Amino acid sequence: MSKDEDTKLFLNTGLSHIDVAKALVEDIQSSIEYLTYNIRRYKVPVTLVLFYSQEDISQSLEDSMRLTDVIHTIKLGDAYLSFVFLLFTEEVDCYSFVKHVEHTKLEDIKNFFYFEKLPHTVHNYYNFINSYLFEIEKKETFF
């Protein structure tokens, strides 16, 4: 496989890494802006989890979420990228959420995840999204 073909198939999306990042930023930028505003104003912790799989796991995620949590699932090619915003949640509690979902809802579905506490402001959305994508790519290529 040539380097050009490899870049077109970033995370089985059929798109280049740049196009994947653009699509994700377009879809979730407004949610991030709204939540970072609330973090600054109300000091509310929010953790963002990105789940990557080749199956639609959004219903399984929704079944495990609280009413205050928000999910955005984007299908790009053969990949499903689900962003879960866990409001009022620190990273330690987010890890518990992720492990609970993996062991109860996703035990037979290959998936990868990455999470971080959402900062109070995001200056460059492409860099922010790419940090998640790079972590998912590392895990996906390792297995």
The total of structural domains in the chain comes to 1
Which residues, in sequence order, are bridge partners of residue 97? none
* Residue 57 domain-assigned (yes or no): yes
CATH number of the domain residue 60 falls in = 3.30.70
37-89 pLDDT, tens digit each: 999 999 999 999 999 999 999 999 999 999 999 999 999 999 999 999 999 99
* Residue 7 domain-assigned (yes or no): no
* Residue 95 domain-assigned (yes or no): yes
Give me 137's structure tokens.
């790519």
* Residue 24 domain-assigned (yes or no): yes
* Residue 29 domain-assigned (yes or no): yes
* Residue 72 domain-assigned (yes or no): yes
Model pTM score:
0.92
Number of H helices, E strands in the chain: 5, 4
Please tell me what DSSP assigns to residue 15.
S
* Residue 91 domain-assigned (yes or no): yes
**How far apart are the C-alpha atoms of 130 and 100, rounded to whole Å?**
26
Range of the domain at 87: 17-116+127-136
